[in-house]
Chains A and B, each alone.
Chain A
Amino acid sequence: MSAFLLSRRRFLTAAGATVSSLPLAGCDALDGLIVNDSPVRRLLASANSLTYRAQRLLVPADRLAPEFAESEIRQAQRPNGSTDPGDATYLALKQDDFAGYRLHVSGLVERPLHLTLEELRNMPSRTQITRHDCVEGWSCIAKWSGVALSRVLDEARVKPEALYVVFHCFDSMPLGLAGSVAYYESIDMVDARHPQTILAYGLNDEVLPVANGAPLRVRVERQLGYKMAKYIRAIEITADLAPFGRGGGGYWEDLGYDWYAGI
């Protein structure tokens, strides 16, 4: 009996000590180690290249993201990030219902393009009901219509050395203390050529609203929302992401988010 009492007393003391030390596990001790550009951060972030390679290996290039029935569209597509760009060029175009809009396609192409919305709408279109997954954790199902990016790339005749497609956007995002920078994003040629990767001009059977990226946004259905640039001004084909922004391959990437957002 006393053995039992002893072990219970010891247990309760030890348990109390454990519980009271839990807040010490609080993690500001680690904060300094994992800030951007520290060696530990670079090591941890290298797992993203592993994820990228593993998923490219496991998921065939043309494998489609799940598509849904009309009945599963139960709400308006939730807008996030910029929802109403105030940039002068954008406002001028918006005032005219984007009649003066041109999508510039340049970089590693044989034939640079300057496409009007009319020209884009006259190309073969694709409509898909897909799930939008935000990096924050939420999902929203909506119907997207647009032209396959691969179709535009074919028209521009992409050079063989091309590795990435960069999207330059009209909307500015905060950067640093008071500065701002234009949103940009990039994807590899596998996702750029994927059948569901479209330059969308329609949402839920309507013209793409400003809050969701009018006049043109990209859908990259096997990655998270931040890859799907809104308010696209120009597309640039490149073999190197270093010259853009801080070299991370996108606005959020430059702030520490993973470039590959398939997870």
Chain B
Amino acid sequence: MTTAHDSESTASEAQPSPVISRHRLTTRLTHWGWAGALFFLFLSGLQIFNAHPVLYVGQQSGFAYDNSVLSISPVRERGGEVRGLTTVLGLSFDTTGVLGVSGPEKERAYRAFPAWLTVPSYQDLATGRVVHFFFAWILATVYAVWLVGSAINGHLRRDILPGLADIRALPAAFVAHLRFRFEHDGRYNSLQKLSYAIVLLVFFPLMIMTGLTMSPSMDAGWPWLVQLFGGRQTARTIHFVVMLLLLGFFAVHIAMVFAAGPINEMRSMITGRYSIRRSVDRGGRT
């Protein structure tokens, strides 16, 4: 155990690290396609949210009654000071500096999400919408290409959809990840399969469908959409919540890339080539 470094160096001296072709071109292209699209969708989405920073449940927004589940707003206190107040399911938090009230002390901005989290940085709903819908088309197109491509080349069945064996392996994989032990045989482990399946087969379609439900024209064309989600305002809330879940996935995803070796991981997603040296070492030790 204490000689892990030594054994690693001797192993690499003794035999060259096996490099495999890990990711296909479609996987790599679509990965960067929606990574870019999601970046702009996120920042322009927060811009759009800022135009009416309240989320509701149901068909409509309660002005004469309360069906809100989240709101972010600047509130003037008795002393005259303005504080940012974020209310989630009736619980209020002081979020001054980031949510509700942000920007330099001298020139505070009264806005839900701060300038550094929106495109454009200033309040401009029109531009936020233009950016959002452009990248929504990109995301939907890239997703369609990935879905069809992965169904045809077997990526979906082989690497994404978790099988019975993957479900059984989940607890062990979970514990291994908590201990920062990662498999490096180039294949997705059960936890990876499950998280990619949830993101790609649940979150992405949910995001696109709740987005379409907010379109008054689509509600006429496909009325089952708004029925499925229980109202346009509920769909807007789900759209926001799934955004947060995708953000959470992104944080873990990036953390895992760094933990598993950022250069090797990045190389595999850009060139497709992936070194499985470490797994050979691990295999020797265990």
Contacts and interface: CB of A to CB of B under 8 A. Distances in A.
Interface of A: 1-4, 7-8, 10-11, 14-15, 18, 23, 25-28, 30-31, 34-35, 41, 43-48, 50-51, 55, 58-60, 63-66, 68, 72, 74-76, 78, 131, 133-141, 221-224, 252, 255-258, 262-263
Interface in B212-229: 214-223, 226
Interface in B26-57: 43, 48-49, 51-52, 54, 56
A257 B64 contact: no
B5 interface: yes
Given A8-B180, A15-B258, A138 B217 contact: no
Of the four ranges (under 10, 10 to 19, 20 to 34, 35 or more), the interface on chain B belongs to 35 or more
A3 B48 contact: no
Given A2-B5, A55-B221, A221-B220, A257 B115 contact: no
B61 interface: yes
Interface in B51-96: 51-52, 54, 56, 59-65
A125 to B, nearest CB: 21
Contacts of A58: 218, 221-222
Contacts of B233: 138-139
B24 interface: no
B122 A31 contact: yes
Nearest to A65: B220
Contacts of B236: 137
B127 A256 contact: yes
Interface string B201-220: 00000000000001111111
A62 B200 CA distance: 35
Given A1-B1, A48-B130, A256-B127, A141 B60 contact: yes
Contacts of A131: 59-60, 216, 219, 232
A136 B118 CA distance: 15
B228 to A, nearest CB: 13
Instruction: Select the residue from A2, A55, A137, A256 with max chain B CB neighbours within 10 A.
Output: A137
27 contacts: A1-B1, A1-B4, A3-B4, A3-B8, A4-B179, A11-B255, A14-B258, A15-B258, A18-B258, A25-B43, A25-B116, A27-B118, A27-B121, A30-B119, A48-B133, A58-B218, A75-B60, A75-B64, A131-B219, A137-B48, A137-B49, A137-B51, A138-B61, A139-B232, A222-B220, A256-B127, A257-B129
Given A10-B258, A75-B65, A263-B215, A27 B116 contact: yes
A222 B215 CA distance: 8
A261 to B, nearest CB: 8
A51 B119 CA distance: 21
Instruction: Select the residue from B129, B180, B218, B226 with max chain A CB neighbours within 10 A.
Output: B129
A66 B226 contact: yes
A30 B120 contact: yes
Nearest to A10: B258
Contacts of A59: 217-218, 220-221
Nearest to A26: B116
Contacts of B1: 1
B258 A27 contact: no
Instruction: Select the residue from A10, A25, A139 with max chain B CB neighbours within 10 A.
Output: A139
B137 interface: yes
B254 interface: yes
B93 to A, nearest CB: 20
Nearest to A12: B258
Contacts of A4: 179-181
A263 B214 CA distance: 7
A11 B214 CA distance: 40
Given A27-B115, A223-B216, 18 more contacts: A4-B180, A7-B259, A11-B255, A25-B43, A27-B43, A27-B118, A27-B120, A27-B121, A28-B115, A47-B130, A72-B60, A74-B64, A131-B219, A138-B61, A139-B61, A222-B216, A256-B130, A263-B218
Contacts of A45: 130, 134
Instruction: Select the residue from B60, B64, B121, B258 with max chain A CB neighbours within 10 A.
Output: B60
A235 to B, nearest CB: 22
Contacts of B124: 256
Nearest to B126: A256
A10 B263 CA distance: 12
Contacts of B259: 7-8, 10-11
B286 interface: no
Given A41-B130, A133-B232, A66 B223 contact: yes
Nearest to A263: B215
A31 B116 CA distance: 11
B262 interface: yes
